[in-house]
Structure 1
Amino acid sequence: MLRNFLAGLIVLLSLSASPAWAGRYASIVVDAESGKVLHAANPDVRSYPASLTKVMTLFLLFDELESGRLRLDSQLRVSAHAAGQAPSKLGLRPGETIAVRDIILALVTKSANDAAVVAAEGIAGSEPEFAQMMTRKAQQLGMSRTVYRNASGLPNSGQMSTVRDQAILARAMINRHAAEYRYFATRQFVWKGQTITTHNRLMLRYPGADGIKTGYIAASGFNLISSAVRDGRRIVGVVFGGTSGPQRDNHMKDLLDRGFAKLRTGESVELAAAPSADDTADLDELVAAAHAASTAAAAKPATKAAARPAPAKPAPTKVAASKPASHGKAAKRAADDEAAGDAEDSWTIQVGAFKEYKPAHQAATKAVHTLGKMVGKGAIDIDKQKGRTPVYRARLAGLSLSQARAACKRLGKAGQSCKLIGPDA
């Protein structure tokens, strides 16, 4: 018991060492079939789901497909409101249409905010009406501490959830929309000649992983829902409040590894929380450190309270439309948060430009071989530029700035061309 508690508490402390993060970190791991909790840390503390919101957007979209009200080839019109969403986005234009199939792929790979709003308006007529549908569905599923205000996860002070609720949603998605769940395993999606690679880096490298969604805004930190299968057993993990994309992914990997180990041994739930009276004698320092971090976060001035979730209140059945919490420069920062990603891995390197696809792909593959573990095959992105004579730009996407710089340095030493491409390029 003591050993299990220590392991859980050390994980919690590693993410809560800074008071700024103490109020945001939460995690849970559950058996996807039974719902048994294998690990939990702050599972019912409310925070901002960020782009994990799109899992519910997709759930309702899959409901529409199942009912026959929509088909994969149904064309939904893009409104000015949808086209005006902050990045990450496809760059849809008002008045054009997009197929439901492409909306799904855009949400699971690029986490496109404009596509999310097109889906919302196509189903409910308006995004506020769709948010009400999302909240009602959440309550039906047992997500009692979740309220939705938009379809994308862009910053809104009223849009709240918990890791436990997100695990409930992930299990419902897997069990009720099993056929559609396969979309979350999509690695690449081609949109208007451009290859878009998934933001879900952990899925590309964790054995057995097949989804499901990343998320990030400044107020929540780096969030992730993951699911993986080993030996015929599936588990679901949820993390809120990671300090970076790679740190969040590595932490999830550890949680999933430990979750599968618990399934094999049949161990009971692990709670990273206050120890029992019998354990405190050996844990004074660890507990004091954890409480100090939490107390420091709670003692911040009230003017900064928006950066942390408010005390939980019962979720209402009706959700009124609400403006985002930030305006002006703050709104632009919030948009930049989401653009930077569902991952901070939003930098690209270009290793050549060619008149044909094949040599472009060969150049990108050669760069991958040179860089080795720095990138994966899933990072290859052949960007076709239309014109009288098409140009195929050989790129490797999904890198952090430091990775992109290191990659160009290594390629330069190998005599290969390399150009840094920023998130907004």
Structure 2
Amino acid sequence: MRQALSGIVSKSASPLKTIMILAMAMTFVVAGAASSFAAKSAAIVVDAKTGKVLYSANADGRRYPASLTKMMTLYLTFEAMAKGKISRNTPVVFSAHASAEAPTKLGVKPGGSVAVETAILSIVTKSANDSATALGEMLGGNETNFARMMTAKARQLGMNGTVFRNANGLPDPGQFTTARDMATLGIALREHFPQYYGYFAQRSFLYGRQRINGHNRLLGRIKGVDGIKTGYTRASGFNLVSSVNDGNRRLVAVVMGGTSGGSRDNQMAGLINTYLPRASTRGGGDLIAKADSNPVSALAKVLLPKHDAPTPDEKPVAVAEADTAVTDDATVAQGDSEDEDTAEAEAPKLVVPATKVKTVIVSAPKVATAQVVAAYAEPTPAVDPVSTASVPSGWAIQVASSPKQSEAQALLDKTTKQAPKVLADASGFTVAFDKDGVTYYRARFGGFGSKDAAWKACTALKKKKIECYAVQQ
């Protein structure tokens, strides 16, 4: 840039001319940066009756889901409720790990509990990270196993561009999705669980004497919007999945990577106003396969990559996993708060051209009926269930331990790639333990039915120069 300017601005140029040239150059730089940032956004609009994609922009590009992750946490919660495994009143106990999650959160102390319905409402309104983790631990035994259940369910629903690593969407470089996959999940939630879908229309709820308001500002602002979920971290930008039903037409729209909550909402409103009139009034039928599998044992038989590179390129701030309560939430969050109001106040103000839309003020949407909504994605074959190490009995083999869970998981991924046949029917997982006040993570493969089976697998790994030993669960 400096050499280019020196060729344009001569020594004899007047001060005014020099200033004008420099101003023009800076304009091009700023415009280029804005264009680069805008290229990282993604959006899709799907006709939920026919499955037709009405609008698409970078819909298959990898993105950090942020709190859109909680849509899958709720899917698995609704599934467990529908099967009678839990009810609205089942107590959800908060572990020390769940209680220590970064804000925003409900603030339940370790050992405390809330009803399943309270946890659900705190997620759809406040986007409570602690509630999501507590639900995940209840349904999966631990959050690591629950993340595998989430990924397995994603595959069964046809979400082939998504990998989940946690239940709440707090930053993890290995957790990613696409706008298309989030649209698939948004439609599946309503199609498969119409009896619970009305939760997404909640704009606020009472927790004790406190009224907690939601983040989804399009509810009550745009006619027909009846959910679903917002999401924000610094690395992901501002995300939103919206479902719209005007009585005759239905849409699901996704916007990811917005520069602010306001610009994201305006973009979503513009997409709804533009494409809802173009949606079909006919059509219907279940286009997303209902993944009917045990919510504990249906683990994803996929290789989770060690190094994932979703965009935006900004590396997310790591969030420490703690087994004890953390008093300084700001330290844990490290700037990646899910509180959109706080983020809006702290974020630098960028000038983004917003689509002018007509705002229609309406009453709060009614609770969804049992009417089934069609989906757009073709189903993929169900994921083969594998044995899970979350079962108390059985044998496992340990290949390593590390002070970082991400490193332990990377070792599991590497070992799986080195010996895919040996570990074809095993499932990798990590187990936390404390030593001299430091938390470490064991990298293990479970699902062996006997000591001999575990020893045999370990012997085969040693032939590949992979150290291991068998342990009983």
For 1:66 and 1:265, the matched residues in 2 are separated by 30
Deviation at 1:327, TM superposition (A): 5.9
Deviation at 1:73, TM superposition (A): 0.4
Deviation at 1:217, TM superposition (A): 0.8
For 1:204 and 1:345, the matched residues in 2 are separated by 21
- Residue pair 1:27, 1:40 contacting (<8 A) in 2 also: yes
Match of residue 122 from structure 1: 138
Residue 88 (1) aligns with residue 104 (2):
yes
For 1:265 and 1:175, the matched residues in 2 are separated by 17
- Residue pair 1:141, 1:169 contacting (<8 A) in 2 also: yes
- Residue pair 2:45, 2:55 contacting (<8 A) in 1 also: yes
Give the TM-score normalised by the residue count of structure 2. Answer: 0.56
Deviation at 1:376, TM superposition (A): 11
Match of residue 105 from structure 1: 121
Residue type of the partner of 1:228? V
For 1:377 and 1:233, the matched residues in 2 are separated by 19
Match of residue 221 from structure 1: 237
- Residue pair 1:185, 1:212 contacting (<8 A) in 2 also: yes
Q: Tell me the SS of whatever aligns to 1:34.
A: coil
Deviation digits for residues 249-307 of structure 1, max 9, x if unmatched? 000000111111222699xxxxxxxxxxxxxxxxxxxxxxxxxxxxxxxxxxxxxxxxx
- Residue pair 1:47, 1:161 contacting (<8 A) in 2 also: yes
Match of residue 302 from structure 2: 317
- Residue pair 1:28, 1:39 contacting (<8 A) in 2 also: yes
Match of residue 154 from structure 1: 170
Deviation at 1:220, TM superposition (A): 1.3
Deviation at 1:192, TM superposition (A): 2.0
Residue 32 (1) aligns with residue 48 (2):
yes
Residue type of the partner of 1:95? G
For 2:343 and 2:362, the matched residues in 1 are separated by 17
Match of residue 291 from structure 1: none
Question: In 2 relative to 1, CA 87–335 (structure 1 residues): closer, same or farther, beyond 3 Å?
Answer: farther
Question: In 2 relative to 1, CA 263–33 (structure 1 residues): closer, same or farther, beyond 3 Å?
Answer: closer
For 1:38 and 1:127, the matched residues in 2 are separated by 36
Deviation at 1:72, TM superposition (A): 0.5
Residue 77 (1) aligns with residue 93 (2):
yes
Match of residue 143 from structure 1: 159
Residue type of the partner of 2:339? A
Structure 1 or 2: more helix by fraction = 1
- Residue pair 1:128, 1:320 contacting (<8 A) in 2 also: no
Q: Tell me the SS of whatever aligns to 1:336.
A: coil
CA RMSD of the aligned region, Å?
A: 3.1
Deviation at 1:116, TM superposition (A): 0.2
Q: Tell me the SS of whatever aligns to 2:176.
A: coil
For 2:32 and 2:152, the matched residues in 1 are separated by 33
- Residue pair 1:209, 1:229 contacting (<8 A) in 2 also: yes
Q: Tell me the SS of whatever aligns to 2:228.
A: strand
Residue 205 (1) aligns with residue 221 (2):
yes
Give the TM-score normalised by the residue count of structure 1. Answer: 0.63
Deviation digits for residues 318-349 of structure 1, max 9, x if unmatched? 65999x852689x94854332433874689xx
Residue type of the partner of 1:132? R
Q: Tell me the SS of whatever aligns to 2:219.
A: helix
For 2:304 and 2:114, the matched residues in 1 are separated by 28
- Report runs of 4+ in structure 1 exceeding 6 Å deviation: 375-378
Question: In 2 relative to 1, CA 258–107 (structure 1 residues): closer, same or farther, beyond 3 Å?
Answer: same
Deviation digits for residues 29-71 of structure 1, max 9, x if unmatched? 0011222101000110001000000000000000000111101
- Residue pair 2:44, 2:180 contacting (<8 A) in 1 also: yes
The percentage of counterpart residues that share the same residue type is 46
Q: Tell me the SS of whatever aligns to 2:279.
A: helix
Query: How many pairs are equivalent?
Result: 288
Give the one of 71, 81, 89 matched to 1:55.
71
For 2:304 and 2:132, the matched residues in 1 are separated by 18
Match of residue 149 from structure 2: 133
Deviation at 1:231, TM superposition (A): 3.8
Higher Rg? 2
Match of residue 441 from structure 2: none
For 1:91 and 1:253, the matched residues in 2 are separated by 33
